[in-house]
Amino acid sequence: MTSHPRPIEVTDVRLAYQLARNRAGTAKEHLINLMRRQVVYDKLWALDGVTFDVRRGEVFGIMGPNGAGKSTLLKCIAGVLHPTTGRVIVRGSVAPMIEVSGGMNPDLTGSENIVLLGTLLGQPPAQMRQRVDEIAEWAGLPHMMDVPIRAYSTGMRARLGFAINTDRKPDVLLIDEVFSVGDEAFKIKSLERIKYLMSGGTSVVIVTHALKTITDLCDRAIWLDQGHIKEQGPPEDVVAAYRGSI
C-alpha cells in the first residue's frame, strides 16, 4: 500500500467572508448598530467547493479574474486562512510568497530582514546569519544589505523576498504575482531557480493574471471564477477556455 500522499490536497474547500452590512469600523458604531438591530451579516463565499491536488515537483497554475478567490485560495494553502468547510492538507515545508514584501519589515535592513523572514519560515536565526551573503549575492543586492528596505524599489524587494523564500529548498513554494514586478533578468533567474527546485521535488503553485506564465511554466492549471473551478487540466486547454469566455 505505497500510495504517495500528495504535497497539497484541497478537498471541497468553502470559505465565507462575513460582511456586515453598514459595516462598523469601531466598537462605538457597532454598539449603536446593535442597539438599533441593524447588524446584518452577508456571507460572501470567496471559495465555494474547490477541490484539487498538487503533485511532487509540479508547477500548478491558478488563474482567473480579479476577485475570483485566487489569493484566498493561496492563503488557505499557506495555512493563514482556514476554510469554513472542507479540508486543506499540506505536507512538508511551505515558502509562501503571498506578496512582494510579505513578512518583511520596511524599517529593518536587508540583512536583518533575511534573518527575520528566514526565522519566520522556520530556520534557526544563526543559520540565516551565515546565509546572508549568499542570499544577497543571488538577489543582486550585496551593496544594499545595510540599508533599510524602505529604500528598496519594489523589484528589489521582490528579488530579496524570492531569494530568502527559495534559499532552503521548500517542499511547497507559493507565488502570488511576484513575476509581474521583476525585470526580465530577474524573471529568467527566478525561473531557473524554480526549475532547479522542481527537479528536487518542490511543488510550485503560481497565482497570476498573465496567461503566458501559465502556458510557459505550468504542468497543470485551474481557472477560478467566483470561488468555483471553471476549468482544470492541461494549461493550454484551461487558457483556451478562459480566452474563449472573454
Alpha helices by DSSP H, 6-69: 27-35
Q: How far is the CB of 77 from other proteins (least distance, A)?
A: 9
Supply the minimum distance, in Å, between the C-beta of residue 103 and other proteins.
5
Q: Which of 115/194 has CB closer to other proteins?
A: 115
End-to-end CA distance of the chain: 45
Q: With left for phi above 0 and alpha for psi between -120 and 50, is residue 229 left, alpha or beta? A: beta
Q: Smallest gap, in angstroms, from Cβ of residue 119 to other proteins?
A: 5
> What's the order of all strands across the beta sheet hosting 59-63?
94-97, 172-176, 203-207, 59-63, 220-225, 228-233
Provide Rg for the chain, Cα atoms. Answer: 20
Q: Provide the minimum distance between the beta carbon of 80 and other proteins in the complex, in angstroms, as a whole number.
A: 6
> In the bound complex, what is the minimum distance in angstroms from residue 161's beta carbon to other proteins?
10
- Beta carbon of residue 122, minimum distance to other proteins (angstroms, whole number): 9
Cβ proximity to other proteins, 108 vs 241, nearer residue: 108
Of 29 and 216, CB closest to other proteins: 29
Beta bridge partners of 222: 62, 232
Closer to other proteins by CB, 101 or 190: give it. Answer: 101
> Which positions lie near other proteins, rule CB under 8 A?
1-7, 17-18, 24-28, 30, 55-57, 75-76, 78-83, 86-94, 96, 98-99, 101-105, 107-108, 112, 115-116, 119-121, 124-125, 171, 201
- Tell how strand 203-207 and strand 172-176 pair up: parallel
In angstroms, rounded to a whole number, what is the distance separating the alpha carbons of residues 32 and 14? 32
Nearer to other proteins, 122 or 185 (CB): 122
The residue length of the chain stands at: 246
Task: Closer to other proteins by CB, 41 or 216: give it.
Answer: 41
* Nearest to 62, CA basis, from 44, 49, 50: 50
The three cell numbers locating residue 132: 546572508
